Chains A and B, each alone.
Chain A
């Protein structure tokens, strides 16, 4: 979808207002919009709101092979995405000029300033290093994306904890959060971008321009600085000529703003740390009230439960007694059999007795069974019966009984004790059982 065009009257009004030192939202020239930082449930997840501009930051890590020329350094990766949700003008899946510019600036601000100690991310030199990935998503666009994104990136990095690793000889052990507490990244300093918008060829200057001010500005100066007043990166765009004094003044303002924002970030991180330790609700998870119902609500229907027990007893008393279970298999045709009347499941009994059989079969076999466990169907003969051989089969089938009427009585093997005892000499079913041990 196309961007809403800016009308002539808006442009004129904005410029005239700036000349009169007025801003649309009532801010002064050097005022920032309100910054709000909230954290997610996981480490390394945060949402930074700068007025109505909103950026989600998420840090993740991975063990990878290092770059050839930097064998002892971890890898930092930044990715800012402008989703269509932020503004309808952003197209998905296309690298717009703005996006490339913002990503590049972010990389320069955070990677090239060496704010993260990449050497501490090395696990085994030349073989394994941590790759730290910072994903930033713009959730709503109301101007000054770069400032919000840079704050979100550094906050997410400060908040992030990577799993602990230990190296002993050639062995690298990665510990889960339960085994050892995850370790924070070592961060030397916190670079933060401050944007200055210039109007009327540099005559007027505004800090933290919002979306409409960005549209009418002539040029933009972005200064990334840490609280020690060290400039990490500086970029001027829009093609305006700035005087030396102007740049110096901007850097002074940036120093003040960065000090304020750094303090805010530290306070937010401390707060989150405290709440986490106390085990209370933290992050933006707390904003989701689980009491609220957005769907239809049904009133609890009251049910009369006063005479339930009597009724139940009555029903039981009136009901016919359950039919007797025939445990002996009834043989209809070769290969089919019926046990009972389909009223009660007698398979469980069968299995139990089988277990007993196994135990009887000797401790050696039992050990083998336990150790194999998988994939091997084992046929174990009944110890009490005739000297039938022990057959191991690979069948995957759970359980199979083949019944054949009137066969060689020598091959008879019985399953359940009850059946065994009832063995009739003239009609003896032959059963072969294949059982998958894994099922137990």
Chain B
């Protein structure tokens, strides 16, 4: 049996100070076991959510080793994959999200930092 991470589900919606102008974020992060990459991805998404989406997000972390059948349903091939179900349109962010935090020069100019988080 491969090592697994505890499933965080809808963890950190601490305050209910939801401003009506802020859209609700529904996020699912798929990882595979407790690889450094998985751990890094979980830490990154938590950090982003706390910093930017405080109070109006819903995050589920799914370990594919524990629930392999979910991979087919959400069309997962690469891990980690973060799916932004809401707000529309649907987005898939592939990778451990380090680039989203770092100001990464490899990202194209027209894709500003954390685009996927912005409401568009």
Does A pair with B?
no
Give the A-binding residues of B (Cβ under 8 A): none
